[in-house]
Amino acid sequence: MSKDINKCKAPIGVFDSGVGGLTVAREIMRQMPDEQIVYFGDTARVPYGSKSKSTIIRYTRQIINFLKTKKVKAIVVACNTASAYALEEVKAELDIPIIGVVKPGAEVAASITKNGKIGVIGTVATIESKLYSKYIKEYNEDALVFGTPCPLFVPLVEEGWVNDAVTFEVANRYLAPLQDTGIDTLILGCTHYPLLKNLIGEVMGEEVTLVNPAYETAAKLKELLKEKGIENPGTGKKTPHEFYVSDAAERFMSFANSILPYDVDTTRTVSIEEY
């Protein structure tokens, strides 16, 4: 069967509640430089981690409707909270592939732990969903999983305080109970947290391996595009990535430029409630 070149050249939709999903977009850019990304950050409604399941599903549906107007060929839910609460619900409604960040992160943690003790940090919603634990146990049923919500990390990252003494103090308080469990692996189960990786590593110490699910998610996406025969061949002029938010576009853009290997020169605001 010949490939539909327009489909192959279509963008990948990536979304998060804010800037956190940029850590996943960054990995996609590194691993698949020929792919075009359409990113949406729901900056008007962040954080998702303290919201109810039904609200997170409603927000996710609206964002997917918006991304569909951009004719995306696949969607990456670059938000653990939305992956935990909405992914399964919306999957059945879509005719394009969609993946989240929880399963890839759980699989890699389960495969690298030596003592079977794995910590997960994330939003209140992600930890309460126990989805990381479910996927880890599918892979290694004897694993012990210790989940701790770290809700203040998201506003601290959105504020840009990634190397701040206040954030260090907060991390010490949140992570102290995990240090007593003997974990050798810790999943950064919120896409904002890789931006605090150095600080979290300093608190946890060298013997704990930090897992950033963004890397494995991008690798899964690459496999999936290949399997469906819809990878971008990278021929012709490269289409620029597009960035959309629901609020504070300028702030988002300066943040994006501080972490992406890409020059973001435009970010547009979308009235996401209309979708």
- In this chain, which of 10, 12, 22, 46 binds ligand DGL, going by CB under 6 A? 46
Is residue 167 within the footprint of ligand DGL (CB under 6 A)?
A: no
Q: Is residue 48 involved in binding ligand DGL (CB under 6 A)?
A: yes
**Using the rule CB under 6 A, is 17 a contact of ligand DGL?**
yes
Binding mask 67-106 for ligand DGL (x = CB under 6 A): ------------xxx-------------------------
Kindly tell me which residue out of 62, 129, 191, 212 binds ligand DGL, with binding defined by CB under 6 A: 191
Residue closer to ligand DGL, measured from CB, 128 or 184: 128
Q: Kindly state the smallest distance separating residue 153's Cβ from ligand DGL, in Å.
A: 9
126 contributes a contact to ligand DGL by CB under 6 A: yes
Residue 113, interface with ligand DGL (CB under 6 A)? no
Helices 197-204 and 165-179 sit at what angle, rounded to 10 degrees? Answer: 50
| Contact call for residue 20 and ligand DGL (CB under 6 A) | yes
Catalytic residue among 72, 76, 77, 79: 79
Interacting residue ranges for ligand DGL, rule: CB under 6 A? 16-17, 20, 46-49, 79-81, 122-123, 126, 154, 190-192
